[in-house]
Chains A and B, each alone.
Chain A
Amino acid sequence: MSRAHPLTQLTRVWMTQLVWLVAVLTGGAIAFAQTKGPAPATSTSSSTSGAASPSPAPATGPTAPPPSNTSGISPMPSGNVVPKAWLPPGADDPDPGPSAVIFPSQLLTLRMNHKLHVQGQNLKCVYCHTTAKTSQYSNDVLVPKNHAKCTQCHAIDETKPFGAVTPPGGDPKTTPTRCDFCHVGATVDGANVATVPKLIIPPPLLKMSHKAHADQNVECEACHGKVENLELATRDQLPRMKGCFGCHQSGDAGSIAKPNGNAKSECTTCHLADKSQVQMATMWPSGVLMPPKWLKNAKHGVDWIERHKKVAGAESSFCANCHKEQECVDCHDGKTKPQSIHSGDFLTTHPVAARFDQPKCSSCHSMTNFCVQCHTRVGVAGSSGSAVSTLARFHPPTDIWAGPIRKPGHHSFEAQKNINACVSCHVERDCVSCHGTTGVGGKGADPHALNFRDKCATAYVKNPRPCFVCHDPYDKELAQCK
């Protein structure tokens, strides 16, 4: 190929840039994933994520593509937003695209009009994506690796990188095709050797067997949407997890009910596991995997630490897909004060918090084995040793708080309201002194509820031990429950 005059070259560069500028201003562009990632050589965003930005044009080239030919450089003509119905099942409206963690940013440097090929030429997906029904691994490359397929229709001569451009309506089989007609940003050096920008499609961080899906007659559009209606297919046509759940709703034994179908809903059916092969690997260079709100209502929002029991308490096995039990028991059976729960001088302020926070307190603290022990040590428990027992009464004067006659201020009212507060300091012998049948008044203060006799027979049969703490086995009061 002869070298053009420098002025001609410069003109062509300007023209090329002008073409790109027009394309960009009309919203069309090469697709570049909208999320963080390596800076694109031709940086644009995907159709549903809005704006595009200018890209560098080929450095050289004898003939620029006609300005009108922006076909295949964006999903929709003029950069219009892809209708939700054409996106993969499970896409939102407006749709933020597939997971930025699972599907890292891509750099698409190919012009490819799927609509023209599928609808216009009546080609099937597998005509170009030849391994789409046999691929078993997510890191298989399903785009054509060379020109072998393309040359069946396009007259590609790799020795003539900037040969010509098929005019609209022309026959691509006979007109030599330029590199930069498909390879956006292609350049050619002085030795007439073309360099095309690398197409970067990182493998998704998933287990994915196209074959397994094809074997179940799952059509391409069940995961990728209506690509045949689009020009360029971008990240936006990659699956949404919500769409996967259209089928993946079986338990471990799902394959028994449907031997040929095995769409299990366990996370590691699709997600990559950590070394344990049981739990998901959640930390990736592209981000940290977090559950969306529509999945078990488990979005880890700002109040998640207060709210997580509503999810974990109901279905801890769901949490176990990402978390080991040590993460749970570091707090729930922990020995170190978590600042995120007990900030500030919680030791001093905890009495008021503890009165209100039942049953929250008992999700991490055993009243009997934690509260009582410390309260006994520090001298505020009823059974604290005389060496440490505090001189100041914790409760109101005895005649009001624990007198034989119930009056306002009597402990029975507080005990009825919140007996856990009592149990965090008192052991059974503290109570028996009055409530025993020979206690206060010679007959003991009856601590039972009014309807206790309706239920006591069951309790007596199952465990009479607490009865015998206060009652003689032959006590006639006890006979009513036998």
Chain B
Amino acid sequence: MRRIASSQSSRRRVAASALALTTAIAGILSPREALAVDAEVESQTSAQAYQLRGPTGDPILSRRRITQTLGLGVYDLLNHGKDTTANAPVLQFRVRMRLDGDFGMSSEEYALANNSTTARFVPGLAPAPVDVMYGYLEGKRLLGGVLAFKLGRQYVIDSLGYYAFDGGLVRITTPLYFTLEAYGGFEVRAGLPLSNGRWELGGIQRGNRSDYPSTAYPSFQKAGLAPTWAIALESAGPTWIHGRLTYRKAWNTGQSFVGGNGALLGPDQLGIYDRTRVSSERIGYGVNATLGEVAALRGVVNYDLVGKNWTDLQAGADFFLGEHVVVGSDYTFFRPLFDADSIFSVFGFEPMDDVSARIEVSPTDRLSFEADAMVRRYRSDDASDPKNFNKLATSLAPGGGLRARYKWANARLSVRGQGIMGDQGDRIGGDVLYERTLAKRWLLDLRLSLWHFEDKLRTQAVQLNNLASNRSATSLGYVLGAGYQLSPEANAMLQFEHDTNRLVGQRFRLMAVVNVRTWL
């Protein structure tokens, strides 16, 4: 009980932090001087209820979720007013917070009891986490367009993928058509205050272990600060070509469980490794070029300096065949990447590569079609010669899709079909979507879906285990949705989803959403 109480106190701390941040935001908003700043407030509240059941029917998780986001943007802090002069300096502040509560969650799942090793406890699970998705002060076009900065929790997106960190970013735009960018701070990680681990590299579970017995759940590591820095060189100005070269490094700090000789160790045998070590170190380059009305080219190269592996290689081109037709093709090489703390990062696994092609035809502004085809190649040792570690075998997974859309002034009809087949399973199906606004205030949203899938890995398990059922099924579902524009600043939507297949019988999902967005 002590630990449950401790968990509750943890939640109180989170709530207190959220309250403090809200107060800070309110402080920023409170009028001190007659600054002509523009402030925008947006919020989204969604309530969802549905059930999730295990492959054999049990357990059934009742999910009753309330997710609320609250965003604030304060613009024009330099008080330019309505001066529309192009490229005036900009100073602005943006923040967005989120509460993600599941009131269907059992306390056994998130509150650590004394007999924790046999309960339903899930390390790191929280019933109503609060996090700050982003919150930063940003200056742009300062010093004659040379300087830009961001201070606070922020995202960076480039060829290395999404990244979130708390810290500062400075960008120097030179007159020589390139920009130099540097940023540093601490990676946003699960288990740290008002954070989630959405963008940290996978392979290692981290979180707040403050309420855990010292050696319980050793795979669940204590989250520590993760210092990070990066530098990037990016083109600036020309609209027809863009390239960005990024080098980024992050470290892990704090205690981490290790096992002396690797066996499943008893609690007393676990070791602790607590030196600062590299979490990731990568360099990546992405380039896109559009050659007039002829073609668009793209490429990405990412290299992992810890594992000394290429992790992403991409090359693609689209060709514009007249006004209405685009054809394109892409090659993608992908090698999974994990945090350097993770044992998965030193496992022997193979990359996979895709070749794809697409054609898009838009006979009119209203009507468009797209068709694509791809094939993925997997590699592994040859299973037919399992003792030979030098012989690689490949397997192919072909797939493709078709899409069509017709737009009216106040309605849209879309059809989508997709399929992929391989030795891990097949999945094929499609959807029809019809959306329409009525009387300028109502929104109608209708969807019909039919998907069939064969789980070939499971089938193998079933055959070998002689189980009575397999995991293949055909699923039919539909969604009925209706929305209403409550005011220019607010709208609401209600969605009912019903799916049926032989594995789960009937599944229902109800969702209500209210969006508010207003300028103060």
Q: Residues on A close to B: CB < 8 A?
A: 92, 207, 245, 248-258, 262, 264-266, 268-270, 272-273, 275-278, 293-297, 299, 301-303, 306, 310-316, 318, 324-326, 328-330, 332-333, 335-336, 339-340, 343-345, 347-349, 351-353, 355-356, 358-359, 362-363, 366-370, 372-374, 376-380, 383, 385-388, 390-397, 400, 406-410, 412-423, 427-433, 435-439, 444, 447-450, 452, 455-456, 458-459, 462-472, 475
Contact = CB atoms under 8 A, between A and B. Distances in A.
A315 B390 contact: no
A44 B448 CA distance: 44
Contact of A450 (B219, B279, B348): B348
Given A253-B146, A379-B54, A470-B261, 19 more contacts: A255-B144, A276-B38, A306-B401, A336-B48, A344-B429, A344-B431, A344-B475, A348-B473, A355-B457, A356-B424, A356-B427, A366-B199, A369-B196, A369-B197, A377-B122, A418-B352, A423-B203, A455-B308, A464-B277
A406 B98 contact: no
B482 interface: no
B40 A276 contact: yes
Contacts of A312: 157
A465 B277 contact: yes
Contacts of B307: 455, 459
27 contacts: A249-B239, A251-B174, A293-B296, A315-B286, A333-B199, A339-B495, A343-B433, A344-B477, A347-B52, A348-B507, A356-B376, A379-B54, A379-B58, A383-B219, A385-B121, A392-B465, A394-B458, A414-B457, A416-B381, A417-B424, A420-B202, A432-B264, A435-B262, A468-B271, A472-B260, A472-B261, A475-B261
A120 to B, nearest CB: 36
Contacts of A329: 96, 133-134, 155
A358 B332 CA distance: 12
B202 A302 contact: no
Given A257-B176, A387-B118, A436-B262, A463 B340 contact: yes
Interface stretch (B17-25, B27-35, B436-444, B496-504): B496-504
B237 A452 contact: no
B277 A462 contact: yes
Interface in B148-199: 148, 155, 157-159, 161-162, 173-177, 179, 190, 196-199
A352 B425 contact: yes
Given A390-B54, A396-B464, A472-B260, A316 B157 contact: yes
Contacts of A349: 427, 429, 451, 453, 473, 475
Given A254-B175, A356-B424, A368 B204 contact: yes
Contacts of A427: 205, 219-220
Contacts of A409: 383, 460, 464
Contacts of B202: 362, 366-369, 420, 423
B300 interface: yes
Among A302, A318, A339, A467, max chain B CB count under 10 A is at: A302
Interface in B390-438: 390, 395, 397, 399, 401, 403-405, 414, 416, 420, 422, 424-427, 429, 431, 433
Contacts of B330: 310
Contacts of A264: 86-87, 145, 237
B242 interface: yes
Q: Interface of chain B, helix or strand or loop or mixed?
A: strand
Among B162, B239, B461, B504, max chain A CB count under 10 A is at: B239
Given A352-B454, A449-B349, A436 B376 contact: no
Interface in B193-236: 196-200, 202-205, 218-220, 236
B119 A385 contact: yes
Contact of B146 (A256, A294, A306, A324): A256
Contacts of A383: 219
B92 interface: yes
Interface in B36-72: 38, 40, 42, 44, 46, 48, 52-56, 58-59, 61, 65, 67, 69, 71
Contacts of B347: 415, 419, 431, 447-449
Question: Could you say which interface size class chain B belongs to?
Answer: 35 or more
B511 interface: yes
Contacts of B96: 326, 329
A360 B100 CA distance: 23
Given A314-B287, A345-B501, A333 B242 contact: no
Given A363-B162, A465-B252, A466-B343, A388 B120 contact: yes
Given A253-B144, A351-B425, A377 B387 contact: no
B303 interface: no
A380 B53 CA distance: 11
Contacts of A253: 144-146, 173-175, 236
A207 B84 CA distance: 8
Contacts of A359: 334, 336
Contacts of A249: 237-239
Nearest to B395: A417
B61 A207 contact: no
Contacts of A437: 261-263
Contacts of B237: 249-251, 254, 264-265
B342 A428 contact: yes
Given A368-B203, A380-B54, A396-B465, A463 B277 contact: yes
B471 to A, nearest CB: 7
A127 B361 CA distance: 47
Contacts of B461: 393-396
A10 B204 CA distance: 91
B11 interface: no
Interface in B347-378: 347-350, 352, 358, 360, 362, 368-370, 372, 376, 378
B262 A439 contact: yes
Contacts of B190: 369
Contact of A428 (B52, B80, B219): B219
Nearest to B342: A466
